[in-house]
Amino acid sequence: MSDSRPDPAGAWFRAEIVEQPDALLRLLDGAATIVEAGRAIRRRRPRFVRLVAHGSSDNAAVYGTYAFGLLGGIPAFRDSISLSVYYGVEHELRPAPVVALSQSGRTPDVVEYVERARRRGALTIAVTNEPASELAGAAEIVIALQAGVERAVAATKTYVNQLGALALLSAAVGDRATSMAEELRRTADLLALTVEQLTSEAEAAARQLVFTGRLFAIGRGLELATAREIALKLTETCRIAAEPLTTTDLSHGPVAALDPLFPVWAVATRDPCLPTVLEAAERVRASGAALIASGDAAGEVEGAGLRLAVPTAPLPVLAPLLSIAPGQLVAGALAAARGLDPDRPVGLQKVTLAA
């Protein structure tokens, strides 16, 4: 890899999407550290685990709440950073373990949250692509994402590796890590296939979205993380006002904003939440809005004008590692069609130091 960017604009972003399977395999080379971190959580026998992050790392944290619930056997919640860092609330006598996610490891209030939690005796785990970062220095245990340098500002491979790390960590907490590493390797192979197969379909989809100014992305359960991350990619790289919603929250108000020029992207995956996605999609169709469907159940979304199907993951809990790919690929193709540069969106830096 070189520091000078290949032409054209967005080349880093697209190259990093393609590189994701290799990046995931590199993460798995360090599986022992992740499993040991999971065992450290397990030994504490906590009542719950706290996840803290912003941006796409917070989308990974949403996935983490499901991974811990389904694999780890203990509840995990995304904690309020501001309650601790800005309001100074410290009330737990026996503080719960913290898993802090930051690709750069430099997000100031995440670092401060971890410092405070560690001072009070909490087990602190940093999940970061920069093992020499402030966050890594602040935490007791460091999980290195091993994604390699991510040059595009919009995160892709670090996001997928965060999901992989959280799946393996949760499985280790639930004492079922052995098979998980193997299932993740199979997922990496399927992800390579997905990216290859969907590239031209994503370009066709981008052509249809080229004048879209606003969009809702809907998902439920495990795939809420995917809907959030697809919306974020489309917002930051394509300047679409793309809002993520749970399928139920769509019905609690926002459905009233829909019209034929307001498309809805439904993440449809064969899992227990699929009926809620199909029901929401039906409401979308009734409003006259256009439907885009992705996921391994994209074919089951009636009336979708665009479908971006992905393979079924080796385990249901790993579906989000594959179902993010259509969103990334469409974001890359759409940015190119609009003459925007996803490697360097206007007003963004790779490291967000804002409070």
4-63 residues in contact with a copy of itself (CB under 8 A) are 47-48, 54-56, 58
166-205 residues in contact with a copy of itself (CB under 8 A) are none
- 132 is a site residue for a copy of itself (CB under 8 A): no
Contact 148, 18 (CB under 8 A): no
Shortest distance (Å) from residue 340 CB to a copy of itself:
9
- Which position among 89, 132, 149, 210 is part of the footprint of a copy of itself (CB under 8 A)? 89
Scanning 35-43, 73-81, 135-143, 304-312 for contacts with a copy of itself by CB under 8 A, the matching segment is 73-81
Scanning 18-26, 81-89, 165-173, 199-207 for contacts with a copy of itself by CB under 8 A, the matching segment is 81-89
- 210 is a site residue for a copy of itself (CB under 8 A): no
- 286 is a site residue for a copy of itself (CB under 8 A): yes
- 1 is a site residue for a copy of itself (CB under 8 A): no
- 83 is a site residue for a copy of itself (CB under 8 A): yes
Shortest distance (Å) from residue 253 CB to a copy of itself:
4
- 117 is a site residue for a copy of itself (CB under 8 A): no
312-331 residues in contact with a copy of itself (CB under 8 A) are none
- 296 is a site residue for a copy of itself (CB under 8 A): no
Shortest distance (Å) from residue 221 CB to a copy of itself:
4
- 211 is a site residue for a copy of itself (CB under 8 A): no
Shortest distance (Å) from residue 91 CB to a copy of itself:
5
Please identify, using beta-carbon distances, which residue of 32 and 261 lies nearer to a copy of itself: 261
- 254 is a site residue for a copy of itself (CB under 8 A): yes
